[in-house]
Amino acid sequence: MKKFSTINKFSKNFNFLVIGGGIMGLTTALDLSLRGFKVDLIEKHTLGKGATLCAHMIHSGYRYLADNRSLTHLLLKENLILQNIWKNFLIKEKGLMLTVNKKSNKDYLKRFQTNSKDINHRLFKLNRKRIKTMELALNTSIVAGYLNVDYPLKTEFLIKGYSNTLKRQGQIIYENTKIVDVKFCKEKWNIKIKNTDQLEPIEKKYNVVINATGSELDKTAKKFGYNVKIERFFGSMFFIKRVITKRILTLCAPIQPGNTIIPAESGTLIGSTWAKTKKQLRDKSSVAEVLYNINEILDRKIKQNEIKKILYGERVHLAIDEKIDNFSNKRDYAILDHSDDTGKDFFSVLPSKLSLSRFVAEELVDKILRKHKPFKRSKTKKCVINTT
Ligand SMILES: Cc1cc2nc3c(=O)[nH]c(=O)nc-3n(C[C@H](O)[C@H](O)[C@H](O)COP(=O)(O)OP(=O)(O)OC[C@H]3O[C@@H](n4cnc5c(N)ncnc54)[C@H](O)[C@@H]3O)c2cc1C
């Protein structure tokens, strides 16, 4: 009982600012809120307009199985949790599929199978005959496949669900904001925030600031006096007018960019592609490359003029930094505790995939609370997100 009241007193006097209303910022704010803390979230535009807007699939990690066992293991575990707490937003299709074609690399496939045994995960292999009965449109170059648990999802609704859940818990979300001034005084961050609808900026004090600004992570950290080096990648997701498959299809091996097709909702398909520069991405040939890859999997021809809309987005990774001990800071996720150097509590955080956001938020908040005892467990595993 004594411990409980200490936690309540601590929660009441300790407050957080989360900067960035993408999946990472929202998930972190929810984790804090469920542990009883007061948290404000500020978003420069409207919620979910960053990289999160482009993401329409919950990764199972299958695609990384051959090369990154630990990442797959983590994503599979997280997927089970997300299927439970995000269930309203998943577009469930039966028998999602990872295809193997004639050109597939044998070594790669061997690693894929061996690693699945190592992580104790049973793969459901499908032979060509079975695949053909499940998906008539598949090309004859497809020789086998695996069932996987990648799920298409309604990202926009998920964001709305998070925002409603937070508001219901009494947390404040400011959209269309700009940080106009930052000071550190008497162990607190003093932050002036301007909302485009307000004439006067508001000024608030926070114990801890969390930087979840995705592609602007470096810019935001700089405002607070810290340096972060990031690497940028540019991606697009595009929607095609008609339904060509009822399943997510990805090439198993060799892994190529632009090999994903996701039926998002009736009448649409999504493909994805990646490039080093924005210009490269807007180049028609990269779209053509994705269409070519889709044609590699499917029998029916998809012409460029059948594209309904394209979403462009920027995804970032942390440039390699020896100080970080996460298992793969380049590809997967990153939590940076800047306060190690300064004593001011400021953290930067990146999930790299929707399916990692809950796990990363929990790890981040655990890390913060271990510094500022008393500790309180996360409840995000059980909090179902609803739009209502
Ligand atoms: C084309 C593309 C396709 C993808 N597909 C998938 C997929 O299918 N599945 C998957 O799991 N992942 C996918 N990803 C990756 C995934 O989208 C990202 O890893 C994830 O959304 C990152 O979330 P985030 O919250 O860190 O960043 P973001 O979603 O970018 O959020 C950062 C937010 O911070 C805000 N912000 C920036 N500066 C400030 C400031 N100064 N003040 C206030 N707010 C600020 C931005 O406006 C933005 O809303 C894809 C990414 C791209 C680009």
Q: Is the pLDDT of residue 381 over 80?
A: yes
Q: Check pocket membership of 43 for ligand 1, CB cut-off 6 A.
A: yes
5 band by pLDDT with thresholds 50, 70 and 90? very low
What distance in angstroms lies between residue 42's CA and the mean position of ligand 1's atoms? Answer: 15
Q: Check pocket membership of 152 for ligand 1, CB cut-off 6 A.
A: no
- Which percentage of the chain shows pLDDT scores above 70? 91
Q: Domain 5-50+156-226+338-382 belongs to what topology?
A: FAD/NAD(P)-binding domain (3.50.50)
According to DSSP, residue 362 is labeled H
DSSP of 155-174, one letter per residue? Answer: HHHHHHHHHHHHHHTT-EEE
| CATH number of the structural domain 69-152+231-321 | 3.30.9.10
175 band by pLDDT with thresholds 50, 70 and 90? very high
Q: 79: closest CA among 71, 208, 267?
A: 71
Tell which wins on pLDDT, 170 or 242. Answer: 170
Task: Report the chain's mean pLDDT, rounded to a whole number.
Answer: 87
Residue whose CA lies nearest to ligand 1 atom number 4: 55
Mind listing the pLDDT tens digit for each residue in 199-235? 789 999 999 999 999 999 999 999 999 999 998 888 8
Give the pLDDT mean for 177-191: 95
Q: Check pocket membership of 50 for ligand 1, CB cut-off 6 A.
A: yes
Residue-level pLDDT at 327 = 46
Q: Is the pLDDT of residue 318 over 50?
A: yes
Residues of the chain with CATH 3.50.50.60: 5-50+156-226+338-382
Q: Check pocket membership of 35 for ligand 1, CB cut-off 6 A.
A: no
Residues of the chain with CATH 3.30.9.10: 69-152+231-321
Residue-level pLDDT at 224 = 97
Residue-level pLDDT at 330 = 54
What distance in angstroms lies between residue 13's CA and the mean position of ligand 1's atoms? Answer: 31
Burial 203-239 (b: 16+ CB within 10 A, else e): ebebbbbbbbbbbbbbebbeebebebebeebbbbbbb
68 band by pLDDT with thresholds 50, 70 and 90? confident
The first and second tokens of residue 240, run together, are 């095609």
Q: Check pocket membership of 153 for ligand 1, CB cut-off 6 A.
A: no
Q: Check pocket membership of 286 for ligand 1, CB cut-off 6 A.
A: no
Q: 16: closest CA among 208, 224, 212?
A: 208
